[in-house]
Structures are given as C-alpha cells and as structure tokens.
A and B are shown apart, each in its own frame.
Chain A
Amino acid sequence: MRIKVDRDLCTGCEACVDSCPYDAIEIKDEKAFINEYCQLCRNCLSVCPEGAIKEVETEEDRTEGMDLSQFRGVWVMAEQRDGKVVDVSLELLGAGRRLADERGSELTAVLFGASEDEAAKLIHWGADRVLHAQSPVFDTFNDDPYVELLSRLITQYKPEIVLTGATAIGRSFFPRVAARLRTGLTADCTSLEIDKETGHLLQIRPAFGGNIMATILCPKHRPQMATVRPRVMKKGEYNESRKGEIIKLDVEGLSSRTKVLQSIKEESETKVNLQEADVIVAGGRGLGKAEGFKMLEELASLLDGAVGASRAAVDEGWISYSHQVGQTGKTVCPKIYIACGISGAVQHLVGMQSSDIIIAINKNPDAPIFNVANYGIVGDVYEVVPELIKKIKEVKGSCQ
C-alpha cells in the first residue's frame, strides 16, 4: 500500500498537514506531498475535503509473501536472572495462554539457563511445553548465544507468535533475532489481541513519543514478534497440577563474541519503593515548582506510599529521574495512584494505567488523565491536596 495525493484534485488547502502524526505531509508547489515519513496510518484519508488523498495498491501487495500457514503456536521467551525466572515472563505466559487458546494452538515457553524446577514452574503458569537449554554460556547474559539458539529454534519449530519481556536483556537480543529472521518486531506493547478476521496479532503500543496509541501489524512475515514491559500484563492462573512436556535442547556450537567480566548489583532505593508501593502520589507539570513535591511527600507518607513524577516534572528538574513513571520511566501497578497536576500524556498513562484505583487531580477538566481515572477532582492541586491531607488525618485520627 502507498498513500498518494491526486494532484488534480488537491487544492492545497493544507487540511491534511496537521492530521498527520508523522509530519509526512508537506505543501510543495501549492499541492500536498507525502514524504518519506509516511507510516501508512491513514489518518489523512478522511481529512481531505476533496478526496484527493488515496490509498493505492503497489506491486508488493499483489505478490504473495511467505507461506504463513506453516507457522503455528505461541512462544514466550522466558527470562532468567541468576537462575530465577523473572515476573514479566510469568505475566507473558498469562497473555500467551489467552492468545494460544484463541488461535487454538499450543503455548510454548523457551528457557535458556536455570534449573529444571524453574522450567516446570513455566508449565504451572500456563505453558503446554517448555524448550529448555542448560549450558554455562547462559550463566551471564551475552547476546550471541541467545540470538543463535532462539533463531535456530524458531527456524526449526516455526511458531506464529514469539513474545518476550521488554527488559535490558529482551530489548537487547530480540531485535537481532528479528533481523536475522527478517521479520517484524514491535517494542513495548501494552495490549496484544488476535484480529478475528485475519488471525493476525494486533500489537498495540504507544507511538509518537507516547502521545498517541498505534496498532501495529506484521501481516506477511512470521513469526510475529513483540516485547511487553514488566507489570503491563497480568499473570495467569498458577496451577501446580498442570501437566506439560519439558524438551531438553541441544546446545552445541554456541559461543559469544562479548564477555561479561563481572555483574555488579546496585538496587536503587526509589525503584524498589516505587514499584512495590501500594500507594503512589505522583506530581506533574501542574505543580509548577519543585516545592510542590514536599506537599506530595507529606500525602504519600500519610498513606505509607511513595512519590512518583511525570516526565515533564523530571525534565523541569523538580525531582530525580528515578521517580519517573511512564514509557521512558518505570511502569507501576499500585493499589492507589494519585496523579496531581499530571495532564496524562499517553507516555505517562502506559506506565500507570494498570493501577487498581486511579485518582486524578487537575485544573483542566479536559486533561487526558481523567480518561483513565476512577475518580476525578477538578481543581488546583495546592487547594485540593492540603484539603486531602487534612481529611485523611481526620479519618486516621478518628480510628485511633
């Protein structure tokens, strides 16, 4: 497909220019012109009053790609660190189980390193079978053996969908696998669905700096590969009586050009606090100044919670990056998230929208944060928050 402007119909009215999220439409010689930024999102098609913007078929659309019917099954590449499977892998088994059931296929977990007990755990969390490789090369993380072995397995077994966590490890080696197999990869998906008509995987992720959401397809290549950030999906059901098969893999011929000399553990305190807190009180641009966070700290400590921040507040230098919640910060999932003076750009929302209860306080009633909120208070944070602190103190006082 290609988007084309019919130059005879185009009046140069520029209506399409602003509709394009990718800056792909320019006016040249008083006519609209689609430049190389076009991502085929089709936003402009309905905007043109003259119907001058059209979707045209290209040679490529008529040629058949690879034989997709050979590919079956959903795979989750599980990740282990220091021999323990990490939570995001279990969350992906929950998502993978749902996708596999919908496609009427099997769910396979792939595990490099770790013990057989850990492999069995993957079955309890939803996998039908586990492909398990054990070798000292997996004691530390190096891209080469991961890329080599996973590519080999995908070529051999031909799964339809392959998922992994968007972690330091997953985000490093998964793109190489996609490049080696010449297939598509979608990073940081927040939702994965099956298109009922075509059976394709609908990969939904924030786009354009996290200002909007996009649905990404990989229509002609297999496998369809995607990464998902920790704490975005919910774990499936744990069932210890669940039976499955563990297949031991051949690990011949694996080597690495990089070498890990040492692994240094360095847990930042804020990270632990933020991601384990039951309550997060977060501030954004609407606070207007660094001092605003003092007030949020008071509210947070009253609720035994932690303080978070939007990217805008961090960019302003009001609070350190370790507090940042969102696509380029941390993903959190507390019981209560209180957003104070945060407008709610998509890139922030994707980092907190799976919180159980979201309370939004903002001056602007149209702020997108209210779209994800369970409770919305329209007002000045400097009036509302002190009032809230007072009220909570009252409630707590009366209980004692």
Chain B
Amino acid sequence: MRIVVCIKQVPDTAEVRINPETNTLVRDGVPSIINPYDLHAIEAALQIKEKLGDVTVTALTMGPPQAEDALREAISMGVDEALLLTDRAFAGSDTLATSYTLSRAIQKIGFDLVICGKQAIDGDTAQVGPEMAEFLNIPHIAYVKAIEEISTQGIRVQRLMEEGYDIVEAPLPVLLTVVREINEPRLPSLKGKMRAKKAEIKKLTHTDIDAEEDKLGLTGSPTAVKNIFAPEARKDRKMFSGSPAEQVAALVEELKNLKCL
C-alpha cells in the first residue's frame, strides 16, 4: 500500500504580532514549522504502516526550496521518502491551484490513501484536502478523529461533527483530513534524524507532474487578495483612567446604567 501525506511548512503564526504603529506584521525571528495538524497526518500514516506492514509512506509538500526542512523533519519521524514541488510557476497559488498541483503529483506518485491535516494554521481554509480529492476523483472524509479499521480494501473512521461524531466507511483509495484528537505525534528518533540528514529530497517542477500550465500559480487561481488591513478601533469605546478601583467603579456605574447589573 502507498500512503501520501501532504504537509505544509508554515510560519509559527502564534509567534506573529502586529506592530500597532504601522499595522504591519512583526515576524522577526518567527520560526518555520511543519503545520501542527500535518504532524498528526504523518503519525496516522506511520501507525498504519506499523499495523499493515507492507506500506510506503511518502511525504509531499509544495513550497519554496527551504520547505525541504519540513520534509527532512517528516523523514526524521519515519516517513520513507519525501518529495518537494518547487517551481516559480507555482507562485501565487490559491487553494484551487495548490490542490490541482498537489493532486497532479499524487497521481504521478501513485496512491491508495492520502492523508492531510485538517487545515494549515496560516491560511486556516481547510479546503486543499477536499479539493485534492475532487481532482483525484476519489472520495474524502474530513475531520477524522479516529481510524477504527483499515485494510487494503477499505477504511472505517470516526468523523468529528458539531454534535458528536459519525462512523463512516469508504473503499480505498480515499483521502482523509485529520484533527488533533486522532493521535499524539511521535518525536523524531536519533536514527531518524541521522537518516533525515542524509536523505535525498527529490524536487519536482511542473513539467515532472504533467500539469497544465494555465491551472498553476496565479493564472490558475480564481481568488486574489485585494488588500490586507488591521481591524480598526470602534468609535464608541470608552477608556477609563485612574487607579484600578476608580476604573472599576466607573465601569460598574456604566453597567448599572445599561441595566446589566
């Protein structure tokens, strides 16, 4: 069986701050990490490999050359091989172009199961997984919180819903997006780290995946960012001043007037 795990290298967005004077993002020293949800996707694939035996796990990412670091980390956790899709032609891809590009590569690699994190913490769209499944013409199950059973024929999982969960089954090939509850990602082993250092990361460009050029990058992206901005202050706000006791007294007075107390 061949499992492809799609991962993304993201800036650790929890470390990003806005400079209040310029309203721009302050990212000095913000580290790049593997999208946290994708670590759970890697772990899920490795657990399936341990259970079924004859499984090859391939980690796949699309990004600039430095995204190679994320793939090495995946190898250190135990994936068998890693592929980096990197090409200027992919520049400016939105979720649709990204999904198309990744799905072309997955098609090329061959697959029985594709696993992704439920979303990336920088974009938070949760769209690339289902969109890839559409391009691959396979079913998908989103928000998987447990894999109950898997064979070379099919899979039975628990899918997180608002009021609980569904038990869903599907034949292979299938694409899953996974949530944090599914497992606890392992830490890289020393042996894994050694292997990661030496591993060859294969790089692919758009010609390697037989992609149609007009479906890539900016050209292939129906959505565009018009502008970005920091939220504005509301005009009716009241800032109190004085000692904590004075400020609290003023607040309580306001709340009494509004009949909130």
Instruction: Please name all residues of chain B whose beta carbon is closer than 8 Å to the beta carbon of A357 when the two chains form the complex.
Output: 258, 260
B109 within 8 A of A: no
Contact (Cβ within 8 A) B222 A368: no
A391 touches B248 (CB 8 A): yes
Contact-size category for A: 35 or more
B242 to chain A, nearest CB (A): 9
Q: Does A43 count as interface, using CB distance less than 8 angstroms?
A: yes
The minimal Cβ–Cβ distance linking B128 to chain A, given in whole angstroms, is 8
Q: Tell me if B245 is interfacial: C-beta within 8 Å of chain A.
A: yes
Whether A183 is near chain B, meaning CB under 8 Å from some CB there, is yes
Q: In whole angstroms, what is the CA distance A38 to B249 when docked?
A: 50
Q: How far is the CB of B239 from chain A (nearest CB, A)?
A: 4
* B156 adjacent to A261 (CB under 8 Å): yes
Query: A379 is contacted by which of B63, B224, B244 (Cβ under 8 Å)?
Result: B244
Beta-carbon contact of A376 and B24 below 8 Å: no
Q: Is B52 an interface residue (CB 8 A)?
A: no
Residues of B within 8 A of A173 (CB): 130
Q: Does B230 contact A (CB under 8 A)?
A: yes
What residue in chain B is nearest A144 (Cβ atoms)? Answer: B139
For residue A220, which residues in chain B have a CB less than 8 angstroms away from its CB? 222
**A-side interface mostly:** mixed
B237 neighbours in A (Cβ, 8 Å): 370-371, 373-376
Least distance between B177 CB and chain A CB atoms (Å):
8
Select which of A42, A186, A206, A396 is within 8 A of B227 by beta carbon: A42
- The interface residues of chain B lying within 8 Å CB-to-CB of A335 are 260
Interface string of A6-23 (1 = CB under 8 A from B): 000000000000110101
Instruction: Closest A residue to B158 by CB, please name it.
Output: A264
| Contact A210/B124 with A40-B92, A349-B231 known, Cβ cut-off 8 Å | yes
- CB of B69 within 8 Å of the partner chain: no
Contact of B130 among A36, A175, A388 (CB under 8 A): A175
Contact across chains for B92 and A43 when beta carbons are under 8 A apart: no
One of A40, A210, A336 near B218 (C-beta < 8 A): A40
Instruction: Report chain A residues within 8 Å CB of B222.
Output: 182-184, 218, 220-221
Given A221-B222, A395-B252, CB of A257 within 8 Å of CB of B238: no
Residue A135 is within 8 A (CB to CB) of chain B in the complex:
no
* A212, B230: Cβ atoms closer than 8 Å: yes
A211 to B223, CA, bound (A): 20
Complex CA–CA separation, A266 to B236 (angstroms): 41
A353-388 contact mask (Cβ, 8 Å, vs B): 1 or 0: 100010100000110101111111111100110011
Question: How far apart sit A311 and B15, CA to CA, in the bound complex (Å)?
Answer: 12
Set of chain A residues within 8 Å of B90, measured between Cβ atoms: 36
Are A171 and B169 CB-contacts (below 8 A) given A211-B13, A392-B261?
Answer: no
Other-chain contact of A368, B223, B225, B230, B245 (Cβ < 8 Å): B230
Are B18 and A179 in contact, CB atoms less than 8 angstroms apart?
A: no
Name which residue of chain A comes closest to B163, CB basis.
A265
Q: Which residue of B lies closest to A368 (CB)?
A: B18
Does A69 belong to the interface (CB within 8 Å)?
A: no
Other-chain residue from B18, B161, B165, B225 in contact with A39 (beta carbon distance below 8 A): B225
**Is B125 interfacial (CB 8 A cutoff)?**
yes
Chain B interface residue count, CB cutoff 8 Å, equals 97
| Chain B proximity of A211: nearest CB distance (Å) | 5
Q: Which of A172, A180, A182, A368 has the most CB of B within 10 A?
A: A172
B232 to chain A: closest CB distance in Å?
A: 7
> When the two chains form their complex, are residues B228 and A213 in contact, meaning their CB atoms are under 8 A apart?
yes
Query: Which of B124, B141, B230 lies at the interface centre, i.e. has the most chain A CB atoms within 10 A of its CB?
Result: B124
Residues A81 and B170 in contact, CB atoms below 8 Å apart: no
Instruction: Give the residue of B24, B126, B135 whose beta carbon is less than 8 angstroms from that of A171.
Output: B126
Q: CB-CB < 8 A to B16: which residues of A?
A: 208-209, 211
Which residues of chain B are near A40, meaning CB under 8 Å? 92, 218, 224-225
Which A residues touch B256, using CB under 8 A? 395
Contact (Cβ within 8 A) A366 B258: no
B11 at the interface (CB under 8 A from A): yes
A18 to chain B, nearest CB (A): 7
Within 8 A of B (CB), among A182-235: 182-188, 202, 206-221
Residue among A36, A173, A312 facing the most chain B CB atoms (10 A cut-off):
A36
Residues of B within 8 A of A175 (CB): 95, 99, 126-131, 134
Nearest opposing residue in chain A for B222, CB measure = A184
B8-46 CB contact bits vs A (8 Å, 1 = yes)?
001101101110100011111000000000000000000
Q: Which of A39, A257, A346, A365 contacts B170 (CB 8 A)?
A: A257
In contact, B165 and A178 (Cβ under 8 angstroms): no
Whether A81 lies near B226 (C-beta < 8 A) is no
Question: Could you show 16 A-B contacts with beta carbons less than 8 Å apart?
Answer: A2-B92, A18-B26, A36-B90, A37-B91, A38-B91, A60-B219, A143-B140, A168-B142, A176-B134, A216-B224, A259-B168, A260-B167, A266-B164, A312-B14, A378-B240, A379-B244
- List 7 additional contacts besides A188-B124, A349-B231; criterion CB under 8 Å: A23-B11, A36-B87, A58-B219, A175-B99, A221-B222, A387-B244, A387-B248
